[in-house]
Amino acid sequence: MKKPLRLRDPQPAETPTDVRILDIAADHIRRHGIERTTILSIAAEAGMSHANIYRYYPSKTALIEEISAQWLKPLEAALHVIGDAPDPAFDKLERLVFALHRAYRDKIETDPAIFALFSAASAQGAAIARRHYGRRDSEMRRILDEGASGPGFDPIDPKRALALILDAAYRFIDPIAMKLDLEVQRAVLEQRMGRVTKTVFRALSTGRI
């Protein structure tokens, strides 16, 4: 009688080298801070030369920006989904602002060292921050254009409308400002944000901005 064939357990997929480097770098930043994290220390833990690190990331700055991009990309995709939704424009704008606020707040609370990279990039006007804000603003403009062409908004200047939203929501969606509110309970901040957004949307509905 033949013995039944035994299927081999599938081998775990090997983590791509570029992702492994990012994981190690992020862990070093969490444990040692950005200043004490070096390409040499990352290379040593990865078991490769520092020259090999530069094959994937041409500089420490590029490596740090990619660490920030890893958690910003899913957020940006979620904003795009909100923009694509069939909901009324007012509802989509409110959901988008709340999605930004909650994603930032979650990151501050659960992964402060990595959030600090993005906060510093914002303060410095670094490329990763400019790209992120460009995508955020693009989604907001898309919703504003949709609202202006349908019921709900009076004819408005899209640039002024976007500026009004960003100015009014600054406390709730700017990473540097949000760090100052860490002691404020989330529920309290969200109540305040809800009142602010409703006030802004009333102004948009009249076109008096």
Whether 28 is in a domain gets the answer yes
**Domain range for 23:** 15-58
Domain edge (last residue) among 6, 25, 58 = 58
Cα dihedral 188, 85, 103, 72 in deg (nearest 10): -160
Residues 53 and 75 in one domain: no
**Structural domain count of the chain:** 2
For 21-80, what is each residue's pLDDT tens digit?
999 999 999 999 999 999 999 999 999 999 999 999 999 999 999 999 999 999 999 999
Whether 3 is in a domain gets the answer no
Residues 104 and 193 in one domain: yes
Residues 124 and 76 in one domain: yes
* The pLDDT of residue 4 is above 80: no
Residues 39 and 132 in one domain: no
Residues 38 and 94 in one domain: no
| HSE toward the beta carbon, residue 126, CA cutoff 13 A | 17
Whether 38 is in a domain gets the answer yes
Q: What is the pLDDT of residue 149?
A: 74
Q: Pick the range with the lowest mean pLDDT from 8-17, 38-47, 98-107, 146-155.
A: 8-17
DSSP secondary structure letters along 80-108: HHHHHSSS-HHHHHHHHHHHHHHHHHHHH
- Which CATH number goes with the domain that contains 34? 1.10.10.60
Residues 52 and 79 in one domain: no
Residues 38 and 136 in one domain: no
| Whole-number Cα distances in Å, 179 to 9, 104, 134, 175, 194 | 47, 10, 22, 6, 19
Residues 31 and 110 in one domain: no
Residues 45 and 77 in one domain: no
Tokens of 115: 């959030």
- Which CATH number goes with the domain that contains 90? 1.10.357
Separation of CA 176 from chain center: 13
Whether 8 is in a domain gets the answer no
For 160-209, what is each residue's pLDDT tens digit?
889 999 999 999 999 999 999 999 999 999 999 999 999 998 888 876 66
Residues 137 and 201 in one domain: yes
